[in-house]
Amino acid sequence: MLRVLIDMDEVIADTTGGMTRWYGKTFDGAIDFENMRKGGSLVKGFPEMHQPIVRQQLFEPGFFRNLPVMAGSRAVLEEMNRRYEIFVVSAATEFPNSLREKFDWMQEHFPFISWEQLVLCGSKKMMEGDYMIDDHSRHLKLFKGRSYLFTAPHNLNETEFERIRDWEHAASIFLK
Amino acid sequence: MLRVLIDMDEVIADTTGGMTRWYGKTFDGAIDFENMRKGGSLVKGFPEMHQPIVRQQLFEPGFFRNLPVMAGSRAVLEEMNRRYEIFVVSAATEFPNSLREKFDWMQEHFPFISWEQLVLCGSKKMMEGDYMIDDHSRHLKLFKGRSYLFTAPHNLNETEFERIRDWEHAASIFLK
């Protein structure tokens, strides 16, 4: 079976959605997706005075546990899991509170992905596979297989990698 | 730099030591290292009536956080970290409570290993490197680089892999 390495944040977990929802409940400032795109970072889309607290939110208990599931990801990943060797690989060790939360989140939303298939890491450079789907080109650059950049507001300006726009698009590639 | 993948339990963390210490404080039964060797498992070294509770201990909060550091590992790993690309790779997702505890344990005992170098996973089959040091042959079997079985009471009967007996022996191989 071909091996596919799939990222969590911005790929199967809607991190931008979770952050903007939290921000909207907490502050009045406007979120600027154009700045997110130009700055190449989720945090850059928020008013400058709030960027430190937005960044801090990534370290807070509960943030990752409560993220929405990315639209369409569950059904496509469930079918991909029958046809490919899937690993869900998340750069999580930067955010220690996220470790258990990401495990629990996977159990709740993707129960067909076993604990053997979950990888919580920092760097992904030692990961070997046939395909990698990730929203960060820094991970894709170090990957020797075929790389797909999963479209997220922060990476819209990048042109180096073939894109997957959303999970319908992923299905058209992997489940055709 | 050559890449070395280093396991945690029974390699840099003294899991057998932590378990036997806990057992001795809790029960009166005798630990039989001969049964551990013959059964190929840490748990098999404990009296049969206590094996379920010993196994359960691996899931309890605090177990992994409080493990002793394997003798000699810190100084050798610190020097190896200067000469090699090191990743500490632990099959941890089977034990959800261990995830944060293993992160905190690393920060306390091996602060020179950054969060980028820590991998908490289930399977290790997608890990690529030049060397792997592990006490479980099931991980070494799937590795394409050079494999070293780190000697532990449960693996004394195995003959398939070149061994590292202890951290002094590791230094004689990697720091010569």
How does pLDDT run across A20-39, given as a tens digit for each residue? 999 999 998 899 999 999 99
pLDDT digits (tens, 9 = 90+) for A133-153: 999 999 999 999 999 999 999
pLDDT digits (tens, 9 = 90+) for A88-114: 999 999 999 999 999 999 999 999 999
Asked if the model's pLDDT at residue B100 lies above 90, the reply is yes
Same domain, B47 and B117: no
**pLDDT-above-90 percentage for chain A:** 98
Same domain, B20 and B74: no
8 Å CB contact of B129 and A129: no
Residues from A in contact with B at Cβ < 8 Å: 3, 5, 87, 93-94, 96-97, 99-100, 103-104, 114-123, 126-129
The residue type of A94 is E
Residue A170 placed within a domain: yes
Residue A151 placed within a domain: yes
Same domain, B96 and B158: yes
Strand runs labelled E in chain A? 3-6, 85-91, 118-121, 131-134, 146-150, 162-164
User: What stretches of chain B show up as alpha helix (H) in DSSP?
Assistant: 15-26, 33-39, 51-57, 73-83, 98-109, 137-140, 167-174
Residue B170 placed within a domain: yes
Total domains in chain B come to: 2
CA nearest to B3 within chain A: A126
Q: What is the mean pLDDT of residues B70-99?
A: 98
Per-chain mean pLDDT for chain A: 97
Same domain, A85 and A115: yes
CA nearest to A95 within chain B: B115
Asked if the model's pLDDT at residue B23 lies above 90, the reply is yes
CATH number of the domain within which A121 lies: 3.40.50.1000
**Smallest Cα distance from A29 to chain B, Å:** 33
Q: Which of A51-55, A158-162, B24-28, B100-104 has the lowest mean pLDDT?
A: B24-28
Is A9 catalytic? The answer is: yes
* Residues of chain B contacting A5 with CB distance shorter than 8 Å: 126
Same domain, B50 and B72: no
pLDDT digits (tens, 9 = 90+) for B119-168: 999 999 999 999 999 999 999 999 999 999 999 999 999 999 999 999 99
Same domain, B92 and B151: yes
Asked if the model's pLDDT at residue B29 lies above 90, the reply is no
Residue B63 placed within a domain: no
Residue B62 placed within a domain: no
What confidence score (pLDDT) does residue A29 get? 85
Same domain, B129 and B161: yes
What confidence score (pLDDT) does residue B26 get? 92
Same domain, A146 and A77: yes
Q: How many residues does chain A have?
A: 176
Considering the entire predicted model, what is its pTM? 0.96
What confidence score (pLDDT) does residue A121 get? 98
Same domain, B74 and B151: yes
What confidence score (pLDDT) does residue B174 get? 98
Same domain, B105 and B167: yes
Residue B158 placed within a domain: yes
Contact call for residues B124 and A126 (beta carbons, < 8 A)? no
**pLDDT-above-90 percentage for chain B:** 98
pLDDT-derived band at B28, boundaries 50, 70, 90: confident
Can you give the residue range of the structural domain that contains A39? 15-57
* Residues of chain B contacting A3 with CB distance shorter than 8 Å: 126
pLDDT digits (tens, 9 = 90+) for B62-83: 999 999 999 999 999 999 999 9
**Smallest Cα distance from A31 to chain B, Å:** 30
* Residues of chain A contacting B114 with CB distance shorter than 8 Å: 122
Residue A160 placed within a domain: yes
Contact call for residues A152 and A140 (beta carbons, < 8 A)? no
8 Å CB contact of B127 and A122: no
Same domain, B72 and B143: yes
What confidence score (pLDDT) does residue B114 get? 98
Same domain, A47 and A96: no
